[in-house]
Structure 1
């Protein structure tokens, strides 16, 4: 079937003109004449049957449809450029995979283990993007995502299948400077200490105190951090107590930079999953999935499909 696609030259001229809001500056960037850029945009408008720019007293501005189309075109051209550069860099050898991952898990747990994957699959390249919330795979060039959450939350991520990797235990940790004599405290004492909050898990502390049977009116108060790595840094600086997944602060606990404030973990409220589109698994993704499941010691079959 023949695709109904405009020329890449027309798209390139339109994207540059939209970005600069100027045919002249777009022409300078592309080393073309202003007239050539204008003609290419006109060809694109004729092809689409939709005006992309309108004239004003101050020049050309995007129409609402043009602004929306420019955003999508820019993303697609960026992806095409990345694919071309990657292929040229690999000279056609091997395969690659693009993963989205929650950042602290990627930097603290996954990436330090990738040397073992590289030893098994030296021709496989793994690229990373940061994502902390569900997204549409069709809108990205991402092959799969390593995501943390509950099974109920995961069921709302339509059109995907998920492989369970590991459960997550969370534990209150802090700088040893916050504990008198370096001694752990009881939950009711912890409720009076400054609590560091995770922006993506606003009720985490409340759930922990509920599990301990402790009334903590200030459970949701305190500074919020987008990433666990930020929260860990704040805890090490003595700003408060952080409720951290234990697998993300193993090095800090081993070195003494962080200590356990109260040895009562909250078990398996959340888990880590490898999430991928329900159809069309690439061989490179199958290889990675098998490897990461082995690293986690989990069963290899997808846990469920939506």
Structure 2
């Protein structure tokens, strides 16, 4: 087998990948600072070298064939790894670098951001680009280097650093502190219970923890962001069950009231990243700082 035949030049691969991503030779040409005819010639040269039809023409538009779509998926991942390797090499050379970090929105705003300036003071020149993410991160298709999220266990195929267990706390509007009788688990169970969408079983776990019948649950609206649930509780819409770490400021200022009744959920906060990113200087520095904070 001729391995040169299986290793097309980078210029051909970049032209194909850009054209495939945009489904347009014109937009690919703009991205690559080439002419449309140059992109077309490079794609044709790649098709001739491989003996494959990667695009089909539909009028003035181009569409990927099935084999073209497969080739694009595999090639995009490979090019992403090449770019990542280049960034690592540049970071090693300079001794500084950037970290593209995904984090849960409310954790990022409530816990991470107030502390991040301490990281910058300890590591001048390094930059942490924060990306809010609720869904699971696909490190093969995104440009994220690492993520902070919650999970019930280490995630397969990723390096996971357990930060701390998730302790959930019942929260009520501030005026509830002055109400009688005492806010017992039974009384809490009679209220409208607000949920966070990514943890729909939290109240069920809480009811089981306190030995309460699940049939008495009055589940209220669900919120994508914990910060929105906190605002809903402050507005008197219902009762919330949220991680203690995300409401410490509101409790300290008297903006919320908690009768206690905390319990450890089955989840923990994790710093996660693919093994290929482990040696990134920016990630190594951030990881060491983060674990010290915890």
Bin the TM-score by the shorter chain: 0.7 to 0.9
Question: Residue 75 of structure 1: CA displacement?
Answer: 7.5
Question: Residue 294 of structure 1: CA displacement?
Answer: 1.4
Structure 1 vs Structure 2 CA RMSD:
3.7
TM-score, normalized by length of structure 2?
0.79
- 2:194 pairs, out of 196, 206, 213, with 196
The match for 2:212 is 214
- Written as runs of structure 1 = structure 2, the 5 A alignment for 1:104-183 is 104-132=106-134, 134-150=136-152, 153-154=153-154, 157-176=155-174, 179=176, 181-183=178-180
Q: Is the aligned partner of 1:37 residue 2:39?
A: yes
Question: Residue 21 of structure 1: CA displacement?
Answer: 3.8
Unaligned runs of 5+ in 1: 297-306
TM-score, normalized by length of structure 1?
0.76
Question: Residue 130 of structure 1: CA displacement?
Answer: 3.4
> How many residue pairs get matched?
289
Give the SS at the match of 1:200. Answer: coil
- 2:273 pairs, out of 271, 276, 284, with 276
CA contact (8 A) 2:190 2:217 kept: no
The match for 2:264 is 267
Question: Residue 264 of structure 1: CA displacement?
Answer: 0.6
Distance 1:159 1:165 in 2: 18
- Written as runs of structure 1 = structure 2, the 5 A alignment for 1:1-150 is 6-18=8-20, 21-24=23-26, 26-27=28-29, 32-56=34-58, 59-70=61-72, 92=94, 94-132=96-134, 134-150=136-152
CA contact (8 A) 2:190 2:218 kept: no
